[in-house]
Amino acid sequence: MAPGNFSRVTEFILLGLSDRRELQVLFFTFFLMTYAMVLLGNLLIIVTVRTDPKLSSPMYFLLCNLSFIDICCSSVISPRMIVDLLSQRKTIAFEGCIAQVFFLHFVGASEMFLLTVMAYDRYTAICKPLHYTAIMSRQVCWALVLACWAGGFLHSIVHTLLTIQLPFCGPNTINSYFCDVPLVIQLACTDLYGTEWLMASNSGLISLVCFLVLVTSYMFILATVRVRYTEGNWKAFSTCASHVMAITLFFAPCIFTYLRPFSTHPSNKHFCMIYTVFSPLLNPLVYTLRNKEMKVSMWKLWKRCRV
By C-alpha distance, which of 257, 256, 248 is closest to 286? 248
Alpha-carbon span 6 to 35, nearest angstrom: 40
What pLDDT, on the 0 to 100 scale, is given for residue 3? Answer: 47
What pLDDT, on the 0 to 100 scale, is given for residue 1? Answer: 43
Question: For residue 16, what is the DSSP state?
Answer: -
What pLDDT, on the 0 to 100 scale, is given for residue 2? Answer: 44
How crowded is residue 265: how many other Cβ atoms within 10 Å of its Cβ? Answer: 11
DSSP bridge partners of 14: 174
What pLDDT, on the 0 to 100 scale, is given for residue 147? Answer: 96
- Helices 94-127, 138-164: axis angle to 10 degrees equals 150
| Amino acid present at 68 | F
What pLDDT, on the 0 to 100 scale, is given for residue 228? Answer: 60
SS3 89: coil
Give the chain's domains with CATH numbers: 11-300 (1.20.1070.10)
What pLDDT, on the 0 to 100 scale, is given for residue 238? Answer: 60
What pLDDT, on the 0 to 100 scale, is given for residue 219? Answer: 81
Cα Rg of the chain (Å, integer): 21
What pLDDT, on the 0 to 100 scale, is given for residue 145? Answer: 95
Alpha-carbon span 47 to 50, nearest angstrom: 5
User: Average pLDDT per run of 10 along the chain, which is 307 residues long?
Assistant: 57 83 87 92 90 85 92 91 85 90 93 91 84 88 95 92 84 85 84 77 85 86 68 58 76 82 65 83 76 78 74
Question: Are residues 38 and 78 in contact, defined by beta-carbon separation less than 8 angstroms?
Answer: yes
Q: Which H or E element spans position 84? A: helix 58-84
Alpha-carbon span 237 to 257, nearest angstrom: 30
